[in-house]
Amino acid sequence: MSRIHRCGTPKHMMTMNKKILAAALFAGFAAVSSVNAGPWEVLFDGEKVQGLRGYMKKDFPWDGWKIEDGVLKTIVGGTTIDLITDKKYRNYEFEVEWAVTPAGNSGIIYNVIEGPSATYFSGPEMQILDDKRHFDGRNPKTSAGSLYALIAPSEDKTLKPVGEFNKAVLRIVDGQVEHWLNGSKVVEYQWRSDKILELLKESKFNAWEKTFMQYDTGHIAIQHHGEEVHFRNIRIRSLDDVEDSQVSMNSLTPEEKEQGWELLFDGESMDHFRGFLKDGMPEKGWVIRDGCIVHEAGGGGGDIITRDRFEEFEFMWEWKVAPGANSGVKYFILEERKRTIGHEYQVIDDGKHLDALRGGKYKTASFYDVFPPQSKNLKPVGEFNVSLIRVKGQVAQHWLNGQKVLEYRLGHPDTLAAIANSKFRNVDGFGYRHNGHILLQDHGDEVHYRNLKIRRLD
């Protein structure tokens, strides 16, 4: 990107002013966000480690790490095992000070799950490096502060000399990821945005697509790369309160509007919905309460559908069920069938409802009676989950709380074979893409829906 110089402003002064401004904004933002943030959890205070353990281990790996002079250090020649937080986090601010020895290499790897053989098989990395001496420093995309092998740090990056401590901050709120280094924001991106997905396809991480960056909640890891690297002042705090207080309910951000999202429910009216085979909303069963579309237990009323039809789309919504409750979101609904038959994203209490206890094809986020979801992060009953259905071309996806849990191809022999073993085997055209309505199911139980939004992909 070319640099534009304004008349009378020396280049070095522009750079200095940008860095000062970035540092001031960071300090001011941190001060504001701390009002709603959770308390700091100190993971290493110079004397003891708490809240950290070895990856895939129960205890701290003292055979690979040591505390010396108030600093947590990797042991060269020791066991090369990464540290991870005991807890998983979704929205958070993680701080650490780090110093490398000559040609040193490490990293902060985040949204990590346990299971794969290494932390980097699931989590992306904020690089820690001696840029001048390590080979990776020659490429900006693998230099210190980068989103490793994907996004280079900005020109505002400043790096302390080898042996001196740098301060790194990793901040994630509702999928917006920021890397900060020595007071400057050096990387910013949206978790699993279209841009990131394109970068992943062209990278070495494409070989790990089933696990890499699939989870928006996970552990934070500190990498042991074999070289000696020093860490101190390690702490973390939850920013879930920031998300809840700063994101308006049932509304669109300017960015979402620009991306083509449409709001289907504003918290006050049901203008975008009507009853199935009806002109208006049912007179009973469905109510608006506390900014949610609520179906009351035993209230009746029947299923409701969107007034518009959608064929290729992304539909996102939040939902929660009462204990033992069952509902569902169906797509490709065709009223000419005279029945509410469509592909169903199951919404249910997995632990108590008898239908869910039949097996995976009947649990939350399944393609009901056809395909089960894969491993998923389901919130406890009574808490809101975030779900998404994506249909593009002949590929349909089910997402739950930031994780893709199911993908299948419309009209594919494997899909049609699974349908042949379901209750939909005799439904004409089932398993293919249609321009249809989206339906919220009345299954007789209490369920809450909010933040319903959609964008067309055709």
Please provide the DSSP assignment of 79-147 as one string. Answer: ----EEESS-BSSEEEEEEEEEPTT-EEEEEEEE-SSSSSGGGTS-EEEEE-TTTSGGGGSGGGSTTSB
Domain with CATH 2.60.120.560 in the chain: 11-244, 249-456
Q: Distance between CA 388 and CA 192 in Å, rounded?
A: 13
Among residues 76, 28, 23, 83, which one has the least CA distance to residue 52? 83
Q: Residue 289, SS3?
A: strand
For residue range 155-209, what is the model confidence (pLDDT) as tens digits? 989 999 999 999 999 999 888 999 999 999 999 999 999 899 999 999 999 999 8
**Distance between first and last Cα of the chain:** 32
DSSP secondary structure code for residue 371 in this structure? B
Q: Distance between CA 409 and CA 213 in Å, rounded?
A: 22
Question: What is residue 117's predicted lDDT score, i.e. its pLDDT?
Answer: 87
Which architecture does CATH list for 11-244? Sandwich (2.60)
Hey, what are 200's tokens?
């992943």
pLDDT-flagged residues of the chain (< 70)? 1-36, 241-248
* Bridge partners, 406 (sequence order): 398
Backbone angles phi, psi at 178, to 5 degrees: -130, 135
Question: What is residue 241's predicted lDDT score, i.e. its pLDDT?
Answer: 52
Q: SS3 letters for 33-86?
A: HCCCCCCCEEEECCCCECCEEECCCCCCCCCCEEEECCEEEECCCCCCCCEEEC
How far out from the chain centre does Cα 444 lie?
A: 32
Rg (CA), the chain: 25
Q: Distance between CA 202 and CA 221 in Å, rounded?
A: 25
Question: What is residue 248's predicted lDDT score, i.e. its pLDDT?
Answer: 61
Sheet of 125-129, strands arranged across: 52-54, 83-85, 219-222, 105-112, 125-129
Q: Distance between CA 390 and CA 408 in Å, rounded?
A: 11
CATH of domain 249-456: 2.60.120.560
Question: What is residue 26's predicted lDDT score, i.e. its pLDDT?
Answer: 36
- Determine the length of the chain: 458
Question: What is residue 33's predicted lDDT score, i.e. its pLDDT?
Answer: 34
Q: Distance between CA 165 and CA 178 in Å, rounded?
A: 20
Question: What is residue 403's predicted lDDT score, i.e. its pLDDT?
Answer: 83
Question: What is residue 34's predicted lDDT score, i.e. its pLDDT?
Answer: 35
Question: What is residue 14's predicted lDDT score, i.e. its pLDDT?
Answer: 39
For residue range 30-86, what is the model confidence (pLDDT) as tens digits? 333 333 578 899 999 999 999 999 999 999 999 999 999 999 999 999 999 999 999
